[in-house]
């Protein structure tokens, strides 16, 4: 077998070299999708494709754990908070759910729960099933029964404060009724009913205002209005189904807590059901799917949750998802239309991305006019492994194509109908020069995309790099969004990040004029300019992790930025490590792979990048990161479990150790700090003795970590 990644083979049949290559391709694709969806609000791939890519990447990482990077897209969740609202730090993270797409994956979920909890096949496992509302997640904090704060999910750890807007939603009580804890955070989904959405869009069209694609978009836009009076005019609804920070729980089961919500004055979903078997779950799923079109609100699946809360606690969480819940998604939706034109967009890293412009068509109630085409191989009918896709059929302008979507994203072109191909249609030829700056566009060996070679001299790359620098997950400068960056760049006001921090001095010196007029002749007002200056000043001492991410080093995502910050703690230490180019030292950081290390070294070895950094650091001082907490007795230690554990499953023991800051390894080496051995321990225990590594039995381990 060759070392070419073969995505259609089972993970168990591919080599480590193949896995490494495919992990790189999948990670890059998912990062681009995350940036398009979360940072630019311009999604490029369908939910179904995204979910499939993420599931494949997760399977590869589980099979080859040493290839899994700490900044892997499988460990990321949500999007950064929106501009214009005060930020709220979630006391309990708002995580996403893993997905199931067929009956077998639902059975696997229940089997995993049983194995983790060491349950037999005969032990009953009650699981709740509820419709997965296609809306906007919201957390509501009540103190002494009074609503004091409402926050969106944001990136899972920090959201937007939308308290004033939430108070305008009739389904959200301002005060609770009945018996309730002094402090309780109720979580649920804000949505807009289908008939209300249709009526609001009719009103928008009559007033010559924006038409929304679907109820979820309208609900999100309504909830995030800066003026609560506007939100009050929008017919928003709310279902309560979960919770966050709390002093006490009103019940010992998921279904019991949701029932308490109803007694407190919340609306809960009437289709929620407690099921006692996988067959019951699947029967309820099919019942809900059959009613989907008739429901007054949009749903995109059914959510399953282990009912017993003590079991939820034991099952715990992965990095971004709970082990005790899963979303069973509905199949994608399809439509046929004409591919009118293939256009090229140039991204921050110079990637030339083809986009299909389609004859508008309605798919699942959403009008679609664009679709991602990924890269030139995809257009030619070639997959990432070199094997044919669509049976080798290429895509051409003028083709009649089948598209599909699942969720609120730009869809994918699934196939082409050759019988309807016009005589004039010719094979598409990917440009070998950047359509923006004209520089050569090169496809390097092993790369799926072609990239402009002009770097930040290319206006498209420069603008995208600036957008990234000020984006929500990076420096998050209020009032300096994508449109402002494009305008300021076009006017010559900002060419690189350092220019942002000299805007005020240049304005005061009369070197520039920020009181520009838009296409309608309207001048920027004084208050907006002063607010912008104030927002820029607030970011002159940025968090180190955000600053590292903001630089736009290829392959360095938010998680990697945090990893580098936790490792080096200070900017000068990080900068020195990168500029000295000690590849082995960088690779020694757990979670940093060769591709990422090489990209970081190359970035800081570029004289133009270093010169731009020097100019930026004349105005910006990154703040030192906090050293990792060392409260746990096993924090920072490498632990190996071997033999049979009798009081918890191996998976539960591993999860507990990782939650306490330990790293769990599958093999014993000189880097191992502690071995936990149960009955039947063999070669690992022997090797630990040879290396003089501390060994504990299960009871001693539980005593060490607090039971």
132 is catalytic: yes
* Residue whose token pair is 């591709």: 595
Distance CA 333, CA 403 (A): 8
Distance CA 329, CA 325 (A): 13
Distance CA 665, CA 577 (A): 27
Closest to 465 (Cα-Cα) out of 554, 388, 536, 541: 554
Closest to 544 (Cα-Cα) out of 569, 573, 575, 567: 569
Here the tokens at position 102 are 């067929």
Distance CA 413, CA 397 (A): 13
| Dihedral, 270, 96, 157, 230 alpha carbons, nearest 10 | -50
> Residues 441, 451: contact at Cβ < 8 Å?
yes
> Residues 685, 675: contact at Cβ < 8 Å?
yes
Following DSSP, what letter does each residue of 39-94 receive, concatenated? Answer: ISS---S-HHHHHHHHHHHHHHHHHSGGG--TT-GGG--S-PPPTTS-EEE-SS--
For 276-294, letters b (16+ CB in 10 Å) and e give eebeebbebbeebbeeeee
Residue 38 per-residue DSSP state: I
Please provide residue 61's backbone torsions phi and psi, each rounded to the nearest 5 degrees. Answer: -65, -35
* Residue whose token pair is 């009945």: 178
Sheet order of strands, 273-275 included: 99-100, 325-329, 299-306, 127-133, 273-275
* Residue whose token pair is 């000299």: 502
Distance CA 57, CA 281 (A): 27
CB-based contacts of 208, cutoff 8 Å, min separation 6: none
Cβ neighbourhood burial of 158 (10 Å; 0-12, 13-18, 19+): buried
- One of 70, 132, 273, 305 is an active-site residue; which one? 132
> Residues 640, 664: contact at Cβ < 8 Å?
yes
Distance CA 585, CA 588 (A): 5
Please provide residue 37's backbone torsions phi and psi, each rounded to the nearest 5 degrees. Answer: -80, -50
Strand ranges inside 134-220, DSSP E: 136-143, 146-152, 158-160, 183-192
Q: Looking at the annotation, which residues are catalytic?
A: 132
């Amino acid at each position: 077998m060759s070392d070419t990644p073969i995505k259609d083979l089972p993970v168990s049949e591919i080599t480590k070299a193949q896995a490494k290559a495919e992990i790189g391709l999948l990670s890059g694709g998912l990062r681009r999708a995350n940036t398009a969806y979360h940072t630019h609000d311009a999604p490029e791939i369908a939910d179904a494709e995204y979910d499939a890519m993420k599931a494949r990447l997760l399977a590869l990482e589980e099979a080859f754990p040493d290839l899994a990077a700490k900044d892997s897209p499988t460990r990321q969740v949500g999007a950064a908070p929106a501009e214009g609202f005060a930020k709220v730090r979630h006391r309990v993270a708002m995580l996403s759910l893993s997905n199931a797409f067929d009956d077998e994956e639902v059975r696997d979920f229940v089997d995993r729960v049983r194995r983790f909890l060491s349950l037999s096949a005969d032990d009953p496992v009650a699981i709740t099933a509820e419709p997965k509302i296609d809306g906007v997640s919201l957390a509501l904090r009540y103190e002494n029964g009074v609503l004091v704060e409402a926050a969106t999910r944001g990136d899972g750890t920090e959201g937007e404060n939308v308290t004033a807007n939430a108070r305008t939603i009739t389904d959200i009580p301002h005060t609770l009724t009945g018996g309730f804890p002094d402090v309780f955070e109720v979580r649920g989904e804000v949505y807009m009913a289908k008939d209300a959405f249709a009526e609001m869009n009719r009103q928008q069209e009559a007033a010559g205002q924006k038409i929304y694609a679907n109820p979820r978009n309208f609900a999100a836009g309504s909830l995030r209005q800066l003026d609560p009076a506007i939100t009050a005019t929008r017919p928003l609804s709310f279902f309560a189904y979960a919770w966050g920070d709390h002093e006490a729980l009103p019940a010992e089961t998921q279904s019991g807590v949701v029932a308490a919500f109803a007694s407190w004055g919340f609306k809960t979903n009437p289709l929620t059901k407690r099921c006692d078997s996988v067959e019951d779950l699947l029967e309820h799923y099919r019942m809900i799917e059959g009613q989907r079109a008739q429901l007054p609100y949009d749903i995109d699946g059914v959510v399953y949750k282990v009912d017993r809360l003590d079991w939820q606690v034991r099952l715990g969480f992965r990095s971004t998802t709970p082990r005790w819940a899963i979303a069973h998604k509905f199949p994608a939706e399809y439509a046929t239309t004409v591919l009118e034109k293939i256009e090229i967009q140039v991204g921050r890293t110079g990637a030339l991305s083809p986009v299909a412009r389609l004859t508008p068509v309605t798919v699942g109630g959403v009008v679609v006019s664009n679709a991602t085409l990924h890269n030139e191989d995809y257009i030619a009918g070639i997959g990432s492994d070199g094997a044919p896709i669509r049976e080798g059929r290429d895509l051409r302008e003028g083709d009649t194509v089948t598209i599909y979507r699942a969720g609120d994203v730009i869809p994918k072109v699934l196939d082409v109908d050759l019988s309807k191909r016009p005589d004039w249609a010719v094979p598409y030829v990917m440009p070998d020069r950047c359509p923006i700056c004209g520089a050569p566009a090169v496809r390097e060996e092993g790369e799926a995309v072609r990239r402009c070679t002009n770097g930040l001299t290319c206006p498209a790359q420069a603008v995208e790099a600036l957008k990234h620098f000020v984006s929500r997950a990076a420096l998050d400068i209020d009032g300096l969004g994508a449109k402002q960056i494009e305008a300021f760049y076009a006017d010559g006001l900002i060419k690189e990040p350092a220019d942002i921090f000299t805007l005020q001095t240049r304005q005061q010196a009369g070197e520039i004029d920020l009181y520009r007029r838009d296409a309608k002749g309207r001048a920027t007002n004084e208050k907006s300019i002063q607010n912008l200056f104030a927002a820029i000043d607030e970011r002159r001492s940025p968090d180190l992790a955000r600053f590292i991410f903001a630089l736009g080093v290829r392959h360095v995502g938010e998680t990697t930025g945090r990893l580098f910050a936790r490792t080096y703690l200070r900017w000068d230490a990080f900068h020195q490590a990168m500029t000295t180019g000690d590849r082995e030292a960088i690779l020694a950081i757990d979670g940093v792979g060769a591709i990422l290390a090489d990209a970081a070294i190359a970035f800081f070895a570029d004289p133009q990048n270093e010169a731009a950094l020097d100019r930026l650091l004349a105005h910006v001082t990154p703040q030192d990161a906090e050293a990792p907490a060392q409260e746990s007795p096993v924090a920072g230690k490498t632990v190996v479990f071997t033999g049979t554990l009798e009081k918890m499953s191996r998976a539960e023991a591993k999860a507990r150790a990782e939650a306490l800051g330990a790293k769990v390894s599958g093999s014993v080496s000189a880097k191992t700090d502690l071995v936990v051995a149960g009955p039947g321990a063999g070669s690992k225990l022997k090797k630990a003795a040879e290396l003089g590594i501390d060994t504990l039995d299960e009871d001693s381990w539980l005593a060490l970590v607090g039971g």
